[in-house]
Amino acid sequence: MYNNTIMTHFTDPTFVGNIDSPEVEIIVGNSVCGDRIEVQLIVQGTVISDVSFRAWGCATSVATGDIFCNSVKGEKFEEIALRDRDYFSKMLGELEPSQRHCIDIMEELHTKLCRETRKLL
């Protein structure tokens, strides 16, 4: 049911937790199924210098939070903004139809990250 990327990030996440004084907080969720990811970030200049997340929901959506954090830490926000849906899909690996809503979650995380960090610039 789960590809290796999802298994690794779900069972051994690196970025779970809270940042004491986050500069940016983004929340992505679906009120019907209950998937919810909360991400906290610190931005230095245009670089995401620290990031953490908390997630609730299916294994794939929890893993999505960790994969997202892993992919943005240390990256420049203007480069993150260039990513597209094809890129998000590749980040998560091969998914079953019941897991593909996590591509939407990944896309929404990126959209909100760009929107919120722009406000800091």
Which residues form the interface with another protein (CB under 8 A)? 1-2, 7, 10-11, 13, 16, 29, 31-36, 54-59, 62, 98
- Minimal distance in Å, beta carbon 10 to another protein? 6
| 61 versus 117: smaller Cβ distance to another protein | 61
| 3 versus 89: smaller Cβ distance to another protein | 3
- Minimal distance in Å, beta carbon 86 to another protein? 26
| 43 versus 95: smaller Cβ distance to another protein | 95
3-state secondary structure the chain: CCCHHHHHHHHCCCCECCCCCCCEEEEEECCCCCCEEEEEEEEECCEEEEEEEEEECCHHHHHHHHHHHHHHCCCEHHHHCCCCHHHHHHHHCCCCHHHCHHHHHHHHHHHHHHHHHHCCC
| 62 versus 67: smaller Cβ distance to another protein | 62
